[in-house]
Amino acid sequence: MAAVDKPKVVRKTVSPLEPDQCHDLFAASESHRIGDIVILAAMTGLRKGELFALQWNAVNLDECVLVVRKTLQELHGVSVKENRGRTLKEPKTAAGRRVIPLGKGAVEALRNRLAKAEAEGFDTQQVETVFPNIRGGFLLGLNLDRNVWHPIRHAAGIPASLVFHDLRHTQASLMLAAGVDLKVIQKRLGHRDFATTANTYSHLLANAQTDAVDKLETMMR
């Protein structure tokens, strides 16, 4: 193996949303049954499996915080009737188990989802999942894309090239634009290695550094 050249890792270009696009997307999300999952994804950076596994007992709206304890794994090729083919698991690494402080927008999205759950007759003690399917079971990734993400994205005028996972990138982009340290973003996203965060968002970090220099120049003048 020492004589074999290592393959080059081709990283997908990160395509986060701009703030104006976020406003349009959030407005289009509010009326959908579980459209609030789009807002929460963009404002927390949670992975799709973490959002699917989120339960009300891991959410504290008064303290404005949620805890990532589980992730939902889909077993492809297995029957997905009811909840079969989907398994709750611990996050892959210790970094995945984390506490996420919530901003006003994320809290409002969760409160809206709670009101919708109550209107559906989904008592939170019986249906603990924050974003269940119409039967109260776990969501399926393909169904989320087809029935939730694609219609909301289209209504907001967002290009079809943007996938649901880009909402996670959007959270990192917004934080970098706000001047948040990359190490803080690493912990919020649940990356085990700092290098993963740095490599993924290095091009966005360059823009943040330019803004920092401009601010420094303004201060010195």
What is the three-class DSSP state of 88?
A: strand
Tokens for 94, please give them.
Answer: 């210790």
Structure tokens of 82?
Answer: 């009811």
Asked, for residue 5, whether it belongs to a domain, the answer is no
Q: Is residue 12 part of a domain?
A: no
* Average pLDDT score over residue span 47-65: 96
Q: Is residue 7 part of a domain?
A: no
Determine, yes or no, domain membership for 160: yes
Q: What is the pLDDT of residue 161?
A: 92
Query: Which run of H or E residues covers position 213?
Result: helix 194-220
Rounded to 10 degrees, the C-alpha dihedral 44/46/50/55 comes to: 10
pLDDT tens by residue, 172-211: 988 888 888 889 999 999 998 888 888 888 777 666 667 7
- CATH (domain of 178): 1.10.443.10
pLDDT the model gives residue 77? 53
Q: What share of the chain is helix, strand, coil (3-state, %, to 5)?
A: 50, 10, 40
Of 43, 86, 30, the residue nearest 175 (C-alpha): 43
Q: How far apart are CA 112 and CA 104, in angstroms?
A: 12
The confidence band for 79, taking pLDDT boundaries of 50, 70 and 90, is very low
Q: What is the pTM of this model?
A: 0.84
Residue 54 φ then ψ, to 5°: -65, 130
H or E segment and range at residue 98: strand 98-101
- Is residue 125 a part of any domain in this protein? yes
Average pLDDT over residues 35-55: 96
The domain total for the chain is 1
> Is residue 1 one of the residues assigned to a domain?
no
User: Could you tell me the pLDDT band of residue 76, with boundaries at 50, 70 and 90?
Assistant: low
66: in domain: yes
Q: Is 62 a member of any domain?
A: yes
10 Å CB burial of residue 102 (0-12, 13-18, 19+) is: buried
**98 CB-contact burial (10 Å; exposed 0-12 / middle 13-18 / buried 19+):** middle
pLDDT per residue over 133-147, tens digit each?
999 999 999 999 999
pLDDT at 177: 82
The pLDDT mean for the chain works out to 89
- 85 is in which domain, residue-wise? 19-220
Q: Is 138 helix (H, G, I), strand (E, B) or coil?
A: coil
Q: How far apart are CA 48 and CA 40, in angstroms?
A: 11
Higher pLDDT, 61 or 215: 61
Q: Over 70: is that where the pLDDT of 78 sits?
A: no
* Angle ∠(130,21,52) on CA atoms, nearest 5: 20
Q: What is the pLDDT of residue 218?
A: 81
